[in-house]
A and B are shown apart, each in its own frame.
Chain A
Amino acid sequence: MTDEEAKKAILDTLGGKSGAKTKFYLKDFYKIVPDMKPRDVKNLVNKMVGEGLLEYWSSGSTTLIGLKGAGKQHREED
C-alpha cells in the first residue's frame, strides 16, 4: 500500500463512521492500514495533521486523532 492509498483508506474510514465517534486512538489507525508498521502509521498520521487533513486532540494525558474540523469540540473551540 502506498502512502497515498493509506491516506485515502484513513480518510474514507474516518469519514464513513456515522454516529458520535469523531476521535480515535492511534491504535485504531493500525487496523485501517494493517500492512503498515506502527511507526510508519504514526509518521503518516503526523504528516496528515501537518497537511490539515487530521488533527490531534489531547486531554493532557492521552492523545486522540480525528478528521480536521469534525466533532462538537471543534465548534466550541473556534
Chain B
Amino acid sequence: MGKHKTPMLDELEKGPWPSFVSDIKQQAEKGKQALKDAPDDLLGVMELSYKDKVTHWKHGGIVGVFGYGGGVIGRYCDQPEKFPGVAHFHTMRVNQPASKFYSTKFLRDLCNLWERYGSGLTNMHGSTGDIIFLGTTTDNLERVFYDMTHELNQDLGGSGSNLRTPSCCVGLARCEWACYDTEEACHELTMEYQDELHRPAFPYKFKFKFDGCPNGCVAAIARADMSVIGTWKDDIRIDQAAVKAYVGGEIKPNGGAHAGKDWGKFDIVEEVVRLCPTGCMSWDGSTLKINNRECTRCMHCLNVMPRALRPGTETGASILFGAKAPILEGAQLSTLTIPFIRMEPPFEELKELVNKVWDWWMEEGKNRERLGELIQRESFQKFLEIMELSPDPRMVSEPRSNPYIFWKEEEVEGGWTRDIKDFRAKHQR
C-alpha cells in the first residue's frame, strides 16, 4: 500500500497491458532513489488531478545547467505541502544515441545515475526521441550533468526554442531498405549544430529527422521541420524468379508478418499490382513490370515482396520542409522541396540548405511560429526564392490540375503586358 490512496489510478493496472502506474509503484517500493517520496507523491498528485480534472503542475521554470539554455525543464507542483516529494520535479532530456542503440550496461548506468540524483523514474523515450529523466530538485541538476558528461560521455538534448535532439531510424545498421546512412547523417548534424542544440536561437523549436526510406520509421514527414527521407533515382531492382516464388507460395509475403492467419493464397494482382497508388505495375502471369517513371516510392510492393524487389542502387534522399503539430495553425506534413540529393559525409549540401532556412526563419519568423507556418504565411514561392530553387512539378501534389506556382513577369521569357484598367473593366474587385 502506497503513501496515498489512488483508486482511480489503480484502475489503470487492470487488464493485460503494461501499466505506468505499476511501474511507478515498483520504483516506490524499490526505494533506492534519492528523492525518496517522489514516486509515491507523483501518484498522489496524479490521483488528485484525476479527481479535480485539472493539472497540479505549474508552467515552466528558469532552471538549467551552466552554459546551456535547454535540456532542463523546470516543473513545480502547486500542492507542495501535500506532495513534498514532487514539489520540485524538473525534467532532464538526454540526447539518445543514434537509432537508440545502447548496451544494457549503458542503460543500467543511466538508471543508476538517475536513482543517485533523482526520482529514478524515466520515460523511454520522449516523442522527440530523447531519454527523459523525470523529476529532480534544482540542486541536483549540475550533479547529474557533471556525472553524465564525465562518466557516461553523454550529453543533454534540446528543448525550448532550440534545435531539438535530431533523431534517425535504425537505417543501415539493420535495415535492408536504408538508402543512406541515417545514423551518420544524424550524428554529423548533431555535432555540427551543438550551439543551436544547447542555446535558444530560434522563434520556436526546430526538428531534423532522418528516415532511411519512405517507410518513415521516425515519421520525419509528419514531425520534422526538415525531413530527410531516403529514396533512389534509378529503377526498383526486380528478381523475377523470387517474384514467381512469392506467387507460387514458396516465400511468404511481408516477411511472414501475416502468416499466423489463413488469408488464402497470395494474389499478386490483388495484393500488389492493384494496390500500387500510381497504377504503374503490371503482371502478365510470368513477369512483373514496373513503369519506374511513375513510381512514387510508396514502398508498398517492396514491403510485400522484400526478397523480389529492392530499391535501386543510385540512392540518396529527398528533403522536405515544414511538418508540425497544431500550434498557431493546424497540423501539416512536410512539403517536398529537394527531390534528390546525395547523402555523403560531411553532408555539405544539406548543411547549406539548413543555414539558408535558418537565416530566413530567424529573421522573418514570428514568435512561436514554426517553419511550416512561416512558409504558409509568406508562400511556398517565397520559400523557393530564399532557397534559390526553381519551382518543379514534383513539389506540387496535383501539378496538372493545380499548378500552384505563380510566375512573375521577369521569370517568363518575353514577359507579358497587362493593362490593369482594361482588366478591371471586365473583372470587378
Contacts and interface: CB of A to CB of B under 8 A. Distances in A.
Q: Chain B binding site: helix, strand, loop or mixed by DSSP?
A: loop
B60 A42 contact: no
A74 B64 CA distance: 13
Contacts of B205: 61-62
B204 A57 contact: no
Interface in B32-67: 58-64, 66-67
Interface in A26-62: 26-27, 38-39, 42, 46, 49-50, 55-62
A39 B363 CA distance: 10
Contact of B160 (A42, A49, A63): A63
Contacts of B367: 25, 27, 62
B368 interface: yes
A73 B61 contact: yes
Sorting the interface of chain A by its residue count into under 10, 10 to 19, 20 to 34 or 35 or more gives: 20 to 34
A25 B367 CA distance: 7
A39 B362 contact: yes
Contacts of B200: 26, 42, 56, 58, 63, 65
A5 interface: no
Given A57-B61, A59-B60, A60-B73, A77 B138 contact: yes
Contacts of A77: 61-63, 74, 76, 138
A27 B73 contact: no
B201 interface: yes
A4 interface: no
Nearest to A27: B367
Interface in B51-96: 58-64, 66-67, 69-70, 72-74, 76, 91
Contact of B161 (A26, A39, A74): A26
B160 A62 contact: yes
Interface string B231-273: 0000000000000000000000000000000000000000000
B162 interface: yes
A60 B60 contact: yes
Contacts of A60: 60, 73, 91, 159-160
Nearest to B327: A61
A55 B160 CA distance: 14
B203 interface: yes
B162 A63 contact: yes
B342 interface: no
B116 interface: no
B300 interface: no
Nearest to B367: A25
Interface string B356-379: 000100110111100000000000
A77 B164 CA distance: 26
Contacts of B368: 62
B203 A26 contact: yes
B310 interface: no
Contacts of A49: 69
- Max chain A CB contacts within 10 Å: which of B72, B162, B202? B202
Contacts of B61: 57-58, 73, 77
Contacts of A25: 203, 367
B161 A46 contact: no
A62 B203 CA distance: 8
3 smallest CB-CB distances across A and B, nearest first, come from: A63-B160, A59-B60, A63-B200
18 contacts: A25-B367, A26-B200, A27-B203, A27-B367, A42-B362, A56-B69, A58-B62, A58-B70, A58-B74, A60-B159, A61-B159, A61-B160, A62-B160, A62-B368, A63-B69, A63-B162, A73-B60, A74-B62
Interface of B: 58-64, 66-67, 69-70, 72-74, 76, 91, 138, 159-162, 199-205, 359, 362-363, 365-368
Given A62-B204, A76-B58, 17 more contacts: A26-B161, A26-B203, A42-B200, A42-B201, A56-B69, A56-B200, A57-B62, A60-B91, A60-B160, A62-B161, A63-B69, A63-B160, A63-B161, A73-B61, A77-B74, A77-B76, A77-B138
